[in-house]
Structure 1
Amino acid sequence: MTTTERAQPSPREETVDVWNGRLQLRVKVAGQGAPLLYLHGSTGLAWDPFLSRLAEQYTVYAPEFPGTSAGEPDAAHVIDDLSDMVLAFEEASRSLGLSQPVVVGHDFGGMLAAELAAHFPALPGKLVLISPLGLWRDDLPVATLSAASQTELPGLLFHDPSGDVAQAALAFPEDPEAAVEAAAGMVWSLGSTGKYLWPIPDRGLRARLHRVAARTLIVWGREDRLAPAAYADEFAGLIRDSAVALIDDSGHLPQVEQFKQALTRIEEFLK
């Protein structure tokens, strides 16, 4: 049995009310052990082998970002300011009873994780940022996923968009209704997170990263065409106790495209 063929813990769903009851977050939970808060990227939350493997060692809490579900798109309009969204997610962490969880964030979720760690330095026990957004250099432009066409999207996300891993990750369900729901969910997810990233994903995070106190691992695919891998050193230069893990033959989703390589580096760090 291979790593990805192990019996995968099935997540249950919880809800948590935040922002004085005006916003309800749906949270997928699985596993046992110390808490781990996972913040998903712009394309939405998918419970994949990476999260299942983390759930073998941790209790994984994975909230859906407001509006990223096709069934609850209006939630995207409850909070418009990124700083307020950071406060809402810190409130959610407390409501869930998480004490110094490991915080793992990817893409937009990496930006949100970094903001949480900067605003609330005592919140994360450790911090893992996977291809995080949030910084900008004119000589290293970051692509905008929400503006990409369906044909452009695979090449922005994967080093080898025609490979089996990418094709499986991008495939919609065979059931027509489920396929429509999945497509709508991705559109809403890109739009809901995109309003905090457009026109550039720079909301002043660079000036706040010195506040991050948790040990931090920055994971990046060497061939990332959405956010160049040079940003890994940008983040590392701004976070005191940090290390960089560059993943070979990988694009913007190293935990998917190079599952074993990325997981090994992350597990070594978390030990």
Structure 2
Amino acid sequence: MPVALLKLPFWLKKHLFINKLFVDLSEQQIKDLQLKIKNVQHPKPEVSIVIPAWNEENNIFRTLSSLSFTNTQRKIEIVVINNNSTDKTQQVLDTLGVKSYFEPKQGITFARQLGLEKAKGKYHLCADSDTFYPPSWIDAMVKPLENDDNIVGVYGRYAFIPENSYERIFFWMYERMAGIIIRLRKSRREHINFLGFNMGFIAEIGLANGGFKVKEVRKFDNAIDSDYFVDESEDGRMAVNLMKTGKLKLISTPKARVFTSSRRLIAEGGIVKAFKFRFKLHTKRISEYLTGKKI
């Protein structure tokens, strides 16, 4: 097993701000972030990156840091939807000079829908406030939408940031299993692969086909086996809506692989419990993934 697979990539390290809350940042660090974010924003964007946030004052500045280091030549905007946060998320956004809108209706569906309605770009990329994006992410996600008229939505792979470095091997195993499941679902149940922290689509088609609206709104972490778990998701609904018009495409290049927090798996009891639960779940659903028919 290559050692590199068990380590976090070099590009990610500068954005971790290890053991620092937002209030711990130095004046120079804040100024650097403000400048980097300002330099990537454009008033007439081709690409919109939209991030929902609920009580993320100590996470979202890391995500914004990673996005500010994009190496794209495209005109972009970063838009954050503050979904009724009760902490200092809005203060962080204002301090860093990030365009934001307030959504008082609680639920990630409402936040993503408002972002879709407010964004100006032809291409709409969905990000999350606890996730890190590689420098080539924007171009890797947009090029297929730009080059093939049949493709209306794209989605990328992901990896987890462990709480402790020794746990990385367990997450690597989990990600390998996820990769197999993603490919099993591609032909018949591809909409399940469409995850809100690493996906994109043509904005006009997303809006015209129904957007992110669902019957039952889920909470932000939506931990499996919790009392508030909701099976229908706004990202899966968007995928189904997009496929009324065209095709989805998996972007498998490492340039589109994002690194996200492991807090959701921790909320489900840790990596081992989450792995066992999903292994049993996906084993039961293999027939559904291959045939498209629910048992």
TM-score normalized by structure 2? 0.29
Structure showing greater Rg: 2
Return the structure number with greater helix share.
2
TM-score normalized by structure 1? 0.31
